[in-house]
Structure 1
C-alpha cells in the first residue's frame, strides 16, 4: 500500500508540470487532457476545455505525484498540508529549495536545525507548501 499526493492546479497544470520538471527533475509518466476522455466530459458531466489536463502523473525522486487542472477555476487552493522534499545532501537541498522558491515565498529560510543539516519551508508559485530537508543522522 502507498499514499500518493494529488494536486489540483485549476488551469495551471501544464505550467506546474514544466516548473517541477525544471526545479525537481520531475519526469512525466503520463498526461491526459479532457479532450482525450470519452466525449470530453468529466464524471460529473461537465465539459472543461479540451486542452486542459484531466490527469497527469509525475515521478519525483522515488515518489509519484498526480495532478490535474481540476475544474479550471483559475484559483488553486492548497491548505492544511506541505509536501516534504528529503534531499541527499545540503547542496541538493539548497539547489532544490532555491528552484522551488523562484516566484514563490520563503517562509523559513533554509538552514541547520536540531533535527536536520538543512531545513526550510516555502510556498511555491502555485501556492503549494514545501518543506525541504536533509535529516541529521541518528545519534548512535
Structure 2
C-alpha cells in the first residue's frame, strides 16, 4: 500500500469550472458529484460536493464547493501547489495552460538555481502554482 498526497482546493461556487479548466489543461476528464446528486441538503444543489481530475500523466487534484452556511475565507496567503514535471515540454505545456487568463505571473518561465525550467503564477481561480522540471538538487 502506498500513500500519496493530493491537493484539495476549496471554492465557493467555482469548483466545477476549476475542475473543467484543469481537466482541459492536463488532458483528463473531471469527475464531479454535486450536492443535489448526493441528496445532501447542506450545499447548493448544483455546487460540487466532491470532484477530482486524475490525468494519465500523474496530475491529480480534488476540489469542492464549501457550503454557503459555513464560513469561507480563501486566506490572505493562498496554498501553493507544486507541480514537478519530468521534461521541459511538460513544464511548458502546464505553465502555458495555467497561464491562460492568469491573475498574476509571479515568475516568468525560465531557468532557476534549482531547475532548468521554472515558473510561478496565480491562475484565474486564485490558485498559485509553482511549476518546475524535477532534477536532482546539489547544494554544492
Q: TM-score range by the shorter chain?
A: 0.7 to 0.9
Q: Which residue of 1 aligns with 2:92?
A: 94
Q: Which residue of 2 aligns with 1:35?
A: 36
Q: Is the 8 Å Cα contact of residues 19 and 52 (structure 2) preserved in structure 1?
A: no
Q: Is the 8 Å Cα contact of residues 76 and 126 (structure 1) preserved in structure 2?
A: no
Gap runs ≥5 in structure 1: 43-47
2:74 maps to 1:77: yes
Q: Is the 8 Å Cα contact of residues 44 and 67 (structure 2) preserved in structure 1?
A: no
**Post-superposition, which runs of at least 4 consecutive aligned residues in structure 1 deviate over 4 A?**
none
- Number of residue-to-residue matches in the alignment: 131
Select which of 41, 47, 54 maps to 1:52. Answer: 47
Cα root mean square deviation, aligned? 2.3
Q: Is the 8 Å Cα contact of residues 101 and 124 (structure 1) preserved in structure 2?
A: yes
TM-score relative to the length of structure 1: 0.80
Evaluate the alpha carbon distance shift between residue 114 and residue 20 of structure 1 in structure 2; reply closer, same or farther with a 3 A threshold.
same
SS of alignment partner, residue 41 of structure 1: coil
> Displacement, 1:50?
0.8
Gap runs ≥5 in structure 2: none
Q: Is the 8 Å Cα contact of residues 118 and 134 (structure 1) preserved in structure 2?
A: yes
Evaluate the alpha carbon distance shift between residue 76 and residue 100 of structure 1 in structure 2; reply closer, same or farther with a 3 A threshold.
farther
